[in-house]
Structure 1
Amino acid sequence: MPRPSRWPDLVHAAGEEFRERGYDNATLESIGARVGILKGSVYNYVGSKEELLLAVVEQPARALLAELDRLRADTGSSVAMRLRELVHTQVRIFADYYPAAFVYLQHVGRFRSPAFAQFDDMDKDYIAAIESLLAEGVRTGEFSLAGEPAVAARAIVGMLDWMQHWFTPHGEEADARLADQLFALALGGLHAAGGVHGVTKGIGRTAAPVVPPGG
């Protein structure tokens, strides 16, 4: 009777190992030990550690892009509601693919092999989609930006990506509350950002000169 495939367990174990020890310190032997198989058995599934990393990061990347395509097709909701859904989607993927999604953020940018080139296009597509969403919000009057939509898009992505340093899943309800808090932070800036022009306009022209102590 054939043995059941350990592939899902192996991919999950690799994600944990890469997250905890880093790609350079992780070994196929230590990954195999997490699921109770020898290093030689790992080679029944992959030919290298890099190939295993690819398997780890592909799942969350493709899940996010699939959700992004769905949001693009939603033209009946307000821009703010679509942005809220995007933030919820991002947090949900961080939870559903924990820690693989964070392994993606930590490691995928360092590889330049053809197998990883697809992720450069995915990242650009993701940023472009958020930028387009924010630009639409400006056109419709929902958002007031202090700068270009490209800057605001990268600021939002940066806020979400920073979650790799502190986020752990706490269940669907708690994670949804967290997503709403992050969305509220982003939305507050998008609504109020236009006022920053007035605040910063005179900076550097009207400030009094700095006099050193005793000067």
Structure 2
Amino acid sequence: MKRRTRVTRQQALEGEAAPTAPSRVERKRGRRIQEIVSVAAELFGERGYDGVSLEDVAERLDVTKGSLYYYFKGKDELATAAIETLGNTWTSRLEQLPQAQDDLPSERLRALIHEHITIAVRDYPAALRLFLAPRQWPDAQRARIKQLRQQHDRIFRTAIEAGLATGDFTVTSVDTALQCMHAAMSQAPLWCADLTGRARDHAIDELTDTLMMLVGQAPSEQPRP
């Protein structure tokens, strides 16, 4: 008769494979993928889906086209990765803005507008256009762009509706206010393209103040530095 061995909970836990940190090779691969995706997003934003080939991406990265296949099966997969990465990063940065319980609705909306414009102008001036003409994309990517735009819109819609509920905001229509807001923010990279330093910061602040007027919030009378 075989002797039965009793295994304690601790022994069982110790026997489980512990999660391992990414290796140096995995970290290097991750950085390379991020670089490829960032360049692809920029190109798709500049030229549209049909105007970009893997050769274009490889040329801007100064690598061979064949090396891209080590990371992506083809243009469609790379395009999807660019959409997902940019859309999720953008939304995440807006959602993670610090927010205190006693923040006024106007403070929340102002912070969202300012951060969106800042990201568009400083971080992704070309790539933003990737989301502006979804009809130019294949069906699968077009559907995902629509979902990401809806998630993005929901953040601003929630902020505006919160201000309406407290009586802080006044709008003719939430939809119209949002359409005007998004249209103006999408043009920010073009308007600020030739600005740097304090001039660019001032332009971002000024556009933020202007868009807050869409919900009935007048600019602060205190002069900006």
Report the TM-score, using the length of structure 2 for normalisation: 0.69
Deviation at 1:107, TM superposition (A): 4.6
Deviation at 1:52, TM superposition (A): 1.4
Deviation at 1:103, TM superposition (A): 2.3
Deviation at 1:82, TM superposition (A): 0.9
Could you give the per-residue CA deviations for residues 21-49 of structure 1, whole angstroms, max 9, x where no partner exists? 33212211121122222211111111111
Deviation at 1:117, TM superposition (A): 3.5
Judged with a 3 Å threshold, the aligned counterparts in structure 2 of structure 1 residues 21 and 117 are, in CA distance, closer, same or farther, namely closer
The structure whose Rg is larger is: 2
Judged with a 3 Å threshold, the aligned counterparts in structure 2 of structure 1 residues 167 and 43 are, in CA distance, closer, same or farther, namely farther
**Which residue of 109, 113, 123 maps to 1:87?**
113
Report the TM-score, using the length of structure 1 for normalisation: 0.72
- Percent identity over the alignment is 24
- Is contact 2:134-2:145 (8 Å) kept? no
- Report the counterpart of residue 105 of structure 1 in structure 2: 132
Judged with a 3 Å threshold, the aligned counterparts in structure 2 of structure 1 residues 166 and 48 are, in CA distance, closer, same or farther, namely farther
Aligned pairs (5 A) from 1:43-192: 43-71=69-97, 74-94=100-120, 95-107=122-134, 110-113=137-140, 117-145=143-171, 147-163=172-188, 165-168=190-193, 170=195, 173-191=198-216
- Is contact 2:134-2:142 (8 Å) kept? no
Deviation at 1:184, TM superposition (A): 1.1
Deviates more, 1:169-178 or 1:28-37: 169-178
Kindly tell me the number of residue pairs found equivalent between the two proteins. Answer: 189
Flag structure 2 segments of 5+ consecutive residues without an equivalent.
1-24, 219-225
Give SS of 1:12's match: helix
Flag structure 1 segments of 5+ consecutive residues without an equivalent.
194-215
